[in-house]
Amino acid sequence: MRVRRVDTFHLRAPLQQPFSFSQFSYSLREAMLVRVSTEDGLAGWGEAYGPAAVTATIVREFLGPLVKGRDPRAIESLWESLFARSIDYGQKGVMLAAISALDIACWDLKAQDAGTPLYRLLGADALESIECYWTGFYFGGQEALETRWEREARECLDSGFRAVKMKVGQGVARDAELVAALRSFVGRKVKLSIDANHAYTPTEAIDLARRVEGYGIHWFEEPVSPLDPQAYLEVKARTNIPLAGGECEYTRFGFDNWFRSRAIDYAQPDICACGGITEGMKIAALASLAGIHVTPHAWGSAVGQAAALHFYAARPRQPFTLTPETKLIECDRTENPFRTAIVQSPIELSRGRWHLPSAPGLGIEVKPDEFGPYLVDRGN
């Protein structure tokens, strides 16, 4: 099996309801998908997280040509050659996101070639479904947030979710009000996590953590700078809320320091950014040395969501116990047509659970014919 061509697809969709979080506002969603086609007619799909025009250019102009003619099933050597070729310019960020997209596409091909769903190829036992948490409760809009969030909480509970994540980062006092409000909307039994997207100093994050500890917070995500494990340790020393982070970190080399210092309780590599499934497995192996649980950040199209799900399905919870905490994976519920409109068979989501597909590969059957209304640029 040899790679015949590599195509990139930059997709864009304006949002009906723009929304914001502590760092910026979204008025559109974008996706950068990669298709790796083989000489014998198979096509594997991958996705890169981050600025789509940039990652598309990296794949089209730099990394894609290095993949042509290679056996896509020889993923370990392929990954190392891409990383070695780019390490002088981009050890983190968009370069790794571009490698991730190619890596995911190669895993899709390898599983298709093996005739098995990817999560089985990655070593998972037969599973039916995995519980997920609702990522939503963003800022923005004219309506009072409490009014909108109460409606969103009802939708969330009615659709069967029993774990949610809300945004914080609007100032400690306002955040604490909103945590209290959302807890009252969802009740005491629902797992409730908060995500500051690194909006705070350690002092502010500790203040917020102490104000909301009584509301039973499942984890506090990205409380402080993603560049500063020491700041996480300062927060961790002053609160009993577990800390989560890692969506802004890349490769085993980047995560190593976080695990050695025990700065986080939940590691959240993004499979479309951290280096793909190949590197995600190495990050998870390092996390297991420290007994830290890995639960991937996932905020992309159906392709990225599927990659995260297959990866996660094959990860045993750390540390081992006969009575483990339920595995929880992120489920973005903000507006994004690319989760359903561009695939033949989106991964089934029901009663707050992802149901693992049984088709070979990623199991979602991407439909490039449906890209038309969204296509900004098609490169090859």
Nearest distance from C-beta of residue 5 to Ca ion, angstroms:
35
Residue 156: CB atoms within 10 A of its CB come to 23
Q: In the bound complex, which residue of the shown chain has the CB atom lying closest to Ca ion?
A: 195
Q: Report CA Rg, the chain.
A: 20
Which chain residues interact with Ca ion by CB under 5 A?
195
Task: State which residue, 21 or 149, has the beta carbon closest to Ca ion.
Answer: 21
In this complex, which beta carbon is closest to Ca ion, that of residue 242 or of residue 316?
Answer: 242
For residue 254, what are its two tokens? 């980047």
Distance between CA atoms of 222 and 228, rounded to whole angstroms?
A: 11
Indicate which residue of 198, 218, 297, 310 is catalytic: 297
Is the separation of the CB atoms in 375 and 32 below 8 Å?
Answer: no
Contact (Cβ atoms closer than 8 angstroms) between residue 102 and residue 278 = no
- The position carrying tokens 């945590």 is 179
- The distance of closest approach from Cβ of residue 244 to Ca ion in the complex, given in angstroms and rounded to an integer, is 8
Tokens of 242: 């577990």
Cα separation, 78 vs 66, in Å, equals 9
The distance of closest approach from Cβ of residue 219 to Ca ion in the complex, given in angstroms and rounded to an integer, is 11
Q: Which residue has the tokens 């400690």?
A: 172
User: CB-wise, 7 or 195, nearer to Ca ion?
Assistant: 195
Least separation, in Å, of the C-beta of 334 and Ca ion?
12
CA separation for the pair 167, 187 (Å, rounded): 18
310 is catalytic: no
Provide the minimum distance between the beta carbon of 311 and Ca ion in the complex, in angstroms, as a whole number. Answer: 17
Q: Is 273 exposed, middle or buried (0-12, 13-18, 19+ CB in 10 A)?
A: buried
Q: Which is nearer to Ca ion, 30 or 195 (CB)?
A: 195
103 or 195, CB closer to Ca ion? 195
How many whole angstroms separate alpha carbon 216 and alpha carbon 234?
Answer: 20
Kindly list the catalytic residues.
297
